[in-house]
Amino acid sequence: MKMENVCILLTYPVPEYLVQELEKRFRVFKFRDVASNPQLIGEISSSIRAIVGTSAWGADARLIDELPKLEIVASYSVGFDKIDLVKCKERGITVTNTPDVLSDDVADFAIGLALATVRRICVCDRFVRGGKWKEGEFELTTKFSGKSVGIVGLGRIGSAIAKRAEAFGCTISYHSRSEKPESYYKYYPNIIDLAANCNILFVACALSKGTKHIVNRKVIDALGPKGIIVNIGRGALIDEPELVSALLEGRLAGAGLDVFEHEPKVPEELLGLENVVLQPHVASDTVETSIAMSDLVIKNLEAHFQNKPVLTPVL
Amino acid sequence: MVEDHLPQVLVLRPPKSFTFFETQFSKKFHFLKAWESQLPTTDFLATHAASVKAILCNSSTPITADILHHLPSLKLIVTTSVGLDHINLPECRGRSISVANAGQVFSEDCADLAVGLLIDVLRKISAADRFVRAGLWPISGDYPLGSKLGGKRVGIVGLGSIGLEVAKRLEAFGCIISYNSRREKANVSYRFYSNVCELGANSDALIICCALNDETHHMINKEVMKALGKEGVIVNIGRGAVIDEKELVQCLVEGEIGGAGLDVFENEPDLPKELFTLDNVVLSPHLAVFTSESFSDLFDLVTGNLEAFFSNKPLLSPLLDE
């Protein structure tokens, strides 16, 4: 069904496939083009009925206020921390995200990040490329298999991480808002106890008011100087300055980080460290999953504009 | 001297683990350290090693027929490697010299590295880490998309204890496992291909976990790589010479295969320099087994094998003649 007069605002660049699919069906305005043209903003703001956001930029209260006809925010992400849900609820705006389709990729990536951090794969690659192998051997690292794994947030992604880590003989425990009765992993109601009882801590929960800086100094201290943190959730789940100083001072053995508090800024001190692996927020970025996420965004929008129930509502 | 009462073990060149644990080792055995002598090896052996019964070596110390001829009393070779391609096995068999290797001590670490390399190549982890460290994220924006691991058909070349550990791990990621081995394995649910080219044609990634011998030398050749195809990935944690390295480099440079994760090379530590410029390649300096936990387990195993030998008990990790 063609909804070619429906105006959609793209708040942040998305993959070309999604842009093309959106343009086949709707009138698409890209924020970057619009923002520099005040006249255009004025013209279209009363026509915009949908926003497609991402993990980088969703829809804050200010933007929502400027769009009186906004009906739906369809996010190209599973996280929705950049969307003002309170405002959306007030205005009766539907919010959708892209859960499930990316869980496997994110979990694969989390394990890959952990292996890269523990076994120093990126450092080894630099060592070889830099011609250092001819001068001497690389140092020993620690073993990954059999390590105790702690997962913060045993949702779809956390569970997928657990399943993979088990295949490496890792023992799994977790911290969540509430215990999951169907899970046989050990539950810690207190995140500090989780950290004290694991060696590799995966941060896989959603970012909300209640989880901001959930990994703080106390948790880092409990994890200890042999501990590794892998963050594929949101940067603000970890107190970043505390993380940086722990890594610099050797109070933490290493970290694999796909997300940061102020992306795309990465704390400069980390850029020179060998015990970290730094990634530009790509845990779900595969060709296959990008298409699946895009298709889900399209399906949610189509359902909404056909007055059918959306597939993956947050609100 | 106390060490005169200790059993004598010859070491031509010190394995890394020997250097690591020398103090502990020296409490149990008297080591004859050939590398510390000014004499050429064979002269040293002729002078000092006539009664030596056991030798400790690693994979970079060839135990050739010539060396064996200079060790008339030799009855045991303990290698700290899993691989045996550096040992003249027919000569050993002929003289009933036992060989003990690292057994299964390294299987998990090797498998972990194989999986780590595969994920790194598919998901561009090392390349993206370079990108971030170069300060390019704020400038260039989004990084190119990688390739999903789940659902990929993974062909394991050599389903020994390392290959099995790789398979077990990748199954949890939703990979579909098949393999090529000298013989089909009973009690294994993975699909067997008797021909490695056929395995390549039916795989999205090949993980090389097999031993190096006459049959496997350059087994992964241009034909296999073409069968694997332009999106295909090769991971090698076995021995460099299982792959025709020149062909591999050419295929990578020309885009005939999609990428490679390599821990081993034909002429370590000399690598084809073309590899250093490729973004779809992850390089590792033959360290699949280099974790402190494995070294500790290896120390226990080597000590256990030597002690068993000197007290006429069965070896812990003997090479079983197949």
For A293-303, write each residue's pLDDT tens digit.
999 999 999 99
Average pLDDT for B232-258: 98
**Which of B119, B268, B270 faces A108 most closely, judged by CB atoms?**
B119
Residue A102 burial (C-beta neighbours within 10 Å; 0-12, 13-18, 19+): buried
User: Is the Cβ–Cβ distance between B238 and B208 less than 8 Å?
Assistant: yes
Q: Using CA atoms of A189, A192, A193, A196 in order, give the dihedral in degrees to the nearest 10.
A: 160
Q: Which of residues 140-169 of A touch B (CB under 8 A)?
A: 140-146, 163-164, 166-169
Bridge partners of B177?
B154
Average pLDDT, chain A: 95
**Which of A111, A169, A278 faces B129 most closely, judged by CB atoms?**
A278
For residue A156, indicate whether it is catalytic.
Answer: no
For residue A66, indicate whether it is catalytic.
Answer: no
Angle at B8 between CA B6 and CA B11, to 5 degrees: 135
Angstrom distance (rounded) from CA A9 to CA B281? 39
Bridge partners of A201?
A150, A229
Report the pLDDT value the prediction gives residue A31, as an integer from 0 to 100: 86
Angstrom distance (rounded) from CA B317 to CA B304? 9
3-class DSSP assignment, residue A195: helix
pTM, 2 dp: 0.94
Whether ipTM > 0.85 holds is: yes
Report the pLDDT value the prediction gives residue A3, as an integer from 0 to 100: 82
Any B CB within 8 A of A285 CB:
yes
What residues of B are in contact with residue A159 (Cβ under 8 Å)? none
Task: Look at B269 and A133 and tell me if their CB atoms are within 8 Å.
Answer: yes
Q: Which of A15, A53, A79, A13 is nearest to A232 (CA)?
A: A79
Measured in degrees and rounded to the nearest 5, phi and psi for residue A159 equal -65, -40
Angle at A238 between CA A234 and CA A241, to 5 degrees: 125
What residues of B are in contact with residue A164 (Cβ under 8 Å)? 169, 172-173
Average pLDDT for B199-228: 97
Q: How far is A139 from chain B (nearest CA, A)?
A: 8
Percentage of chain A surpassing pLDDT 90? 90
What lies within 8 Å, CB to CB, of A168 at 6+ separation is A111, A144, A145, A146, A147, B108, B112, B169
Query: In the predicted model, is pLDDT for residue A35 greater than 80?
Result: no
Task: Look at A282 and B124 and tell me if their CB atoms are within 8 Å.
Answer: yes
- Give the confidence band of A13 by pLDDT, cuts at 50, 70, 90: confident
Percentage of chain A surpassing pLDDT 70? 99
What residues of B are in contact with residue A143 (Cβ under 8 Å)? 108-109, 112, 291-294
Q: Which of B80, B149, B171 to mutate to test the interface with A (most CBs of A within 10 A)?
A: B149
pLDDT digits (tens, 9 = 90+) for B258-301: 999 999 999 999 999 999 999 999 999 999 999 999 999 999 99
Query: In the predicted model, is pLDDT for residue A253 greater than 90?
Result: yes
Q: Positive or negative, the Cα torsion across B163, B164, B165, B167?
A: positive
Any B CB within 8 A of A268 CB:
no
Work out the number of other CB atoms within 10 angstroms of the CB of residue B251.
21
Q: Which of B35, B7, B209 is nearest to B109 (CA)?
A: B209
Angstrom distance (rounded) from CA B307 to CA B125? 44
Q: How far is A93 from chain B (nearest CA, A)?
A: 29
> What would the 3-class secondary structure string for chain B be?
CHHHHCCEEEECCCCHHHHHCHHHHHHHCEEEEHHHCCCCHHHHHHHHCCCCCEEEECCCCCECHHHHHCCCCCCEEEECCCCCCCECHHHHHHCCCEEECCCCCCHHHHHHHHHHHHHHHHHCHHHHHHHHHCCCHHHHCCCCCECCCCCCEEEEECCCHHHHHHHHHHHCCCCEEEEECCCCCCCCCCEECCCHHHHHHCCCEEEECCCCCCCCCCCECHHHHHHHCCCCEEEECCCHHHECHHHHHHHHHCCCCCEEEECCCCECCECCHHHHHCCCEEECCCCCCCEHHHHHHHHHHHHHHHHHHHCCCCCCCECCCC
Task: Look at B119 and A163 and tell me if their CB atoms are within 8 Å.
Answer: no
Q: How far is B172 from chain A (nearest CA, A)?
A: 5
Q: How far is B297 from chain A (nearest CA, A)?
A: 12
Report the pLDDT value the prediction gives residue A53, as an integer from 0 to 100: 95
**Which of B131, B271, B295 faces A128 most closely, judged by CB atoms?**
B271
pLDDT digits (tens, 9 = 90+) for A91-136: 999 999 999 999 999 999 999 999 999 999 999 999 999 999 999 8
pLDDT digits (tens, 9 = 90+) for B57-87: 999 899 999 999 999 999 999 999 988 999 9
Report the pLDDT value the prediction gives residue B321, as an integer from 0 to 100: 58
Angstrom distance (rounded) from CA B315 to CA B116? 33
Query: In the predicted model, is pLDDT for residue A241 greater than 60?
Result: yes
Q: How many Cβ contacts (< 8 angstroms) between chains A and B?
A: 175
Average pLDDT for A229-239: 98
H-state helical runs in chain A:
16-25, 31-35, 38-45, 61-66, 85-91, 103-118, 121-129, 156-166, 191-196, 217-223, 240-248, 268-271, 287-305
**Which of B145, B269, B271 faces A287 most closely, judged by CB atoms?**
B145
| Closest Cα in chain A to B146 | A286
What residues of A are in contact with residue B142 (Cβ under 8 Å)? 13, 280, 285
Percentage of chain B surpassing pLDDT 90? 93
Task: Look at B112 and A145 and tell me if their CB atoms are within 8 Å.
Answer: yes
| Closest Cα in chain B to A288 | B148
Measured in degrees and rounded to the nearest 5, phi and psi for residue A92 equal 70, 30
- Give the confidence band of B4 by pLDDT, cuts at 50, 70, 90: low
**Which of A125, A168, A278 faces B112 most closely, judged by CB atoms?**
A168
For residue A281, indicate whether it is catalytic.
Answer: yes
Q: Positive or negative, the Cα torsion across B215, B221, B225, B227?
A: negative
Query: In the predicted model, is pLDDT for residue B152 greater than 50?
Result: yes
Average pLDDT for B304-317: 96
Q: How far is A161 from chain B (nearest CA, A)?
A: 9
Q: How far is A68 from chain B (nearest CA, A)?
A: 31
DSSP letter assigned to residue A236: G
Task: Look at B146 and A122 and tell me if their CB atoms are within 8 Å.
Answer: no
Catalytic, out of A49, A234, A261, A304: A234
- Give the confidence band of B320 by pLDDT, cuts at 50, 70, 90: low
Report the pLDDT value the prediction gives residue B322, as an integer from 0 to 100: 43
Angstrom distance (rounded) from CA A22 to CA A29? 10
pLDDT digits (tens, 9 = 90+) for A176-187: 999 999 999 999
| Phi-psi region at B286: left, alpha or beta (left = phi > 0; alpha = psi -120 to 50) | left
Q: Which of A134, A135, A170, A285 to mutate to test the interface with B (most CBs of B within 10 A)?
A: A285
